[in-house]
Structure 1
Amino acid sequence: MKRPKIALAHEFLAQFGGAEKTLEAIAEIYPEAPIYTAKYTPETMPESIKKRKIIAPKNGLVNRAAKFFFTFMMAPVFESFNFDDYDIIVSDGNTWNKGILTKPNQLHITYIHTPPRFLYHYSTENTKRDKWYFKLFFSYIDNLLRIWDYVAAQRPDFILTNSKETQKRIQKFYRRNAVVIYPPVDVNHSTVIENKSIQKPYYVAVGRLIKYKNFDLLIQAFNMLGLPLMIIGDGAYARTLKGMASENITFMGRISDTEKHRVLSNALGLINPVKDEDFGIVPVEAMAHGIPVLAHDSGGHRETVIEGVNGMFFSELTVESIVNAMKTFDNNARNGAYDKNKIRQSAERFSKERFKEELKQFVEEKWNNFSRA
């Protein structure tokens, strides 16, 4: 049988986060496949991406659209991509890639990280829609976009996703069945990395410092508890958060992956106060170091945190709920209630190698059936 030609599609290559790490793993499976994207900023990408053939618009439309008219100018950009030379298109994204146009003899498999949060009233980092003078305008635009989003979600032949939480959203909003393949996480960290710069035991939180991540509640809770907390990350809400923090809280800003793993490996535990995580990669990264996790009882946390084995939950998004849970969590963490080896083992099912094998098998199986039909 003739070997199929494969192309990859990723929405934006403008920052290197969890979605881009997923793309990186997919690209390792298909080393000869070009990557189509609407925006490419090479200086933000690792060498593994920069060495690939990247196909992106060069007319500046995307950059101009991103400033304001982003939401209703992007669909035509993705629909304009030409995949005529390829048999299989593997795309990943939140909003636009599922809407790319393919022909009947082409197989399109898309990996949806989540349906667009801004369209379905999930919290996002963009607060523009919260301002009263934009609400009426965007309510009209978003109604039109929801129609396009539903239509676009019917185009892929198969849908993959990152968690049972997101799988439920895809069924609810698109009436499509999705197959869960958990995203790739770097879990190859079995030893403590010595950190001489920090002497006393501490907790850690990691993420972009934006409003919906609920770092304000976490900071208020740790102000009351007086426990040491290291916060890794930066964002638009950083100045506000620093202004409310006591001396027991340290802001580390944006640091390298090596330094992040150093901080994680020496922590008593990780705290993740985010509601409705699509999956939640950071808690699994902490578990790979044998570090227990305290997380909000919602979303993807329910698929990674196992109560009593690798962490525990707090139920309400309130300072009081975090404080009460932290008292129990702190006692458990300091008194050896969590087995580091069991915590590490719980992270191994989310490894990068497992992701690559599952995705490769899925694509091969679907192509074999598709090409014989």
Structure 2
Amino acid sequence: MPRTKGIILYDFLQVPGGAERVTLLLARAFPEFDLCVGARNHGVIPDGEMVGLKCIELGSIAQSPAWRALKTMRLFHSRTAFLSRYEIVLYSGVYAPVAVHHHEGHNILYCHTSPLRFAYDLKGYYFAQCPWWQKPAFQALIAYSKPRYEAAIAKMDLVIANSESVARKYRHYLGQETIVIYPPCEVEQFSWQGQGNYYLSLARLEPHKRVDVIVQAFLQMPDKCLVVVSEGSDLPRLRYMAEGASNIHFMGWPRQDQLQALLGHAIATLYIPKDEDFGMSPVESMAAGKPVIGVAEGGLLETIIDGETGLFITPEPTPMDIISAVQTLTPKRALEMREACERQAQRFNKEIFLEKMGTVLKY
């Protein structure tokens, strides 16, 4: 029996994040490829967004981050024998690559993030976040995941990093050479629509995204308005921090049209995650003509031009660093950066991405 052209594997469709959008874009752009995910959150990624896609779901999403990682890795390891009927497998995620032992054809990995961050570059950070009684389980997760991940990477025919920052980490931790293909931004979906009276935070509400530092800063600037988009495990803590602050508003996960409007009318955006691998939000911000206050590390160094499309602050930002940057990036200064922002965003448009990925997938 002749083999089917290819299939795209991705960890799980849990949130409407950058990696999820890239995965769905690839599946739509290359209809000869099927799609397989560990699980899908049907409430966040509804059936309407999957129309026209042949998608295999291996299981359900676990609530605990540690159990989710272990469960997803086991799903891909044990339930993907069907990969043998495909010519090419494109792995897109952190846990999906362990399925490679089921496939003897052409194997390509697109890395949205650094290798197993909880086991390598952010190991100390995540370990410090664990309560004492969870630390043994955390160490057991690393002991289980690391050798399987390293064995999977060794079987890849090609590894693609989404930024030079990620490429350096694959070289440093695994001795793995990569090529770099920047992820796509659908720049045509975002546009400058005016200038409101608020600054916008777009990062997921997780501790390593450091939205708490932004909230602390705006608590000290009651005359400046902050709109926080997104959700995550840090939401209850952030709401508690901002309780009673009339200048801080939480919007949850917005619809695409709401996101476009919020970005289109903002003064500027703030994005200060710990050593971000790439960061789609700053590119979307610039596509809307809005400059970004970001940390001078990781993938942001490849997307933001300091003083032209945003302002860099220290990699370990304090509320005072945020306050100083907001005071510098006035509405007038932000408006002056509009054209440079729009121009820079075009470097990451989806046509460039799809052309390069098309070349790779036609190996």
Task: Output the CA distance in 2 between the equivalents of 1:48 and 1:237.
Answer: 27
Task: Output the CA distance in 1 between the equivalents of 2:56 and 2:191.
Answer: 40
3-state SS, counterpart of residue 293 of structure 2: strand
Task: Output the CA distance in 2 between the equivalents of 1:152 and 1:9.
Answer: 14
Task: For 1:206-217, list aligned pairs within 5 A.
Answer: 206-217=202-213
Q: How far off is 1:143 after superposition?
A: 2.7
Structure 1, 4-13 or 39-48: larger mean CA deviation: 39-48
Aligned residues: 354
Shift of the 128–30 alpha-carbon distance from structure 1 to 2, 3 Å rule, reads: farther
| Map of 1:264 onto structure 2 | 263
3-state SS, counterpart of residue 312 of structure 1: strand
Q: How far off is 1:295 after superposition?
A: 0.3
| Map of 2:227 onto structure 1 | 230
On the 8 A contact 2:127/2:135 being kept in 1, the answer is no
On the 8 A contact 2:35/2:55 being kept in 1, the answer is yes
On the 8 A contact 1:268/1:334 being kept in 2, the answer is no
| Map of 2:55 onto structure 1 | 54
Q: How far off is 1:86 after superposition?
A: 1.6
On the 8 A contact 1:308/1:338 being kept in 2, the answer is no
Shift of the 252–167 alpha-carbon distance from structure 1 to 2, 3 Å rule, reads: same
3-state SS, counterpart of residue 51 of structure 1: coil
Q: How far off is 1:108 after superposition?
A: 0.8
Deviations 1:264-316 (A, max 9, x none): 11111101121211111111111001111110111111011101210110113
3-state SS, counterpart of residue 225 of structure 1: coil
On the 8 A contact 1:40/1:56 being kept in 2, the answer is yes
| Map of 2:8 onto structure 1 | 8
| Map of 1:370 onto structure 2 | none
Q: How far off is 1:181 after superposition?
A: 0.8
Q: How far off is 1:218 after superposition?
A: 0.8
Structure 1, 274-283 or 125-134: larger mean CA deviation: 125-134
Task: Output the CA distance in 2 between the equivalents of 1:305 and 1:247.
Answer: 31
Structure 1, 278-287 or 2-11: larger mean CA deviation: 2-11
| Map of 1:354 onto structure 2 | 352
Q: TM-score, normalised on structure 1?
A: 0.85
| Map of 1:158 onto structure 2 | 158
Task: Output the CA distance in 2 between the equivalents of 1:296 and 1:181.
Answer: 22
| Map of 1:278 onto structure 2 | 277
| Map of 2:176 onto structure 1 | 176
On the 8 A contact 2:291/2:334 being kept in 1, the answer is no
Q: How far off is 1:48 after superposition?
A: 4.8
Task: Output the CA distance in 2 between the equivalents of 1:64 and 1:217.
Answer: 29
Task: Output the CA distance in 1 between the equivalents of 2:162 and 2:351.
Answer: 15
| Map of 1:242 onto structure 2 | 239
Q: How far off is 1:103 after superposition?
A: 4.6
3-state SS, counterpart of residue 207 of structure 1: coil
3-state SS, counterpart of residue 352 of structure 2: helix
On the 8 A contact 2:264/2:288 being kept in 1, the answer is yes
| Map of 2:101 onto structure 1 | 101
Shift of the 254–39 alpha-carbon distance from structure 1 to 2, 3 Å rule, reads: closer
Task: Output the CA distance in 2 between the equivalents of 1:123 and 1:182.
Answer: 25
1:298 aligns with 2:264: no
Task: Output the CA distance in 1 between the equivalents of 2:216 and 2:123.
Answer: 20
Shift of the 165–357 alpha-carbon distance from structure 1 to 2, 3 Å rule, reads: same
Identity %: 27
Shift of the 190–321 alpha-carbon distance from structure 1 to 2, 3 Å rule, reads: closer
1:91 aligns with 2:91: yes
Deviations 1:88-117 (A, max 9, x none): 11121123325422554x111111112222
Structure 1 counterpart of 2:153, one-letter code: A
Structure 1, 8-17 or 171-180: larger mean CA deviation: 8-17
Structure 2 counterpart of 1:22, one-letter code: V
Task: Output the CA distance in 1 between the equivalents of 2:229 and 2:281.
Answer: 11
3-state SS, counterpart of residue 172 of structure 1: helix
Shift of the 140–253 alpha-carbon distance from structure 1 to 2, 3 Å rule, reads: closer
Task: Output the CA distance in 2 between the equivalents of 1:200 and 1:29.
Answer: 35
Q: TM-score, normalised on structure 2?
A: 0.88
Q: How far off is 1:136 after superposition?
A: 2.1
On the 8 A contact 1:150/1:173 being kept in 2, the answer is no
Task: Output the CA distance in 2 between the equivalents of 1:291 and 1:30.
Answer: 32
3-state SS, counterpart of residue 261 of structure 1: helix
Q: How far off is 1:171 after superposition?
A: 1.2
Q: Where do 5+ consecutive residues of structure 1 fail to align?
A: 368-373
Deviations 1:193-215 (A, max 9, x none): 46xxxx95221111222222212
Task: Output the CA distance in 2 between the equivalents of 1:326 and 1:172.
Answer: 36
Task: For 1:121-136, list aligned pairs within 5 A.
Answer: 121-122=121-122, 130-136=130-136
Q: Where do 5+ consecutive residues of structure 2 fail to align?
A: none
Equivalent of 1:345 in 343, 346, 350: 343
On the 8 A contact 2:41/2:61 being kept in 1, the answer is no
Q: How far off is 1:51 after superposition?
A: 2.8
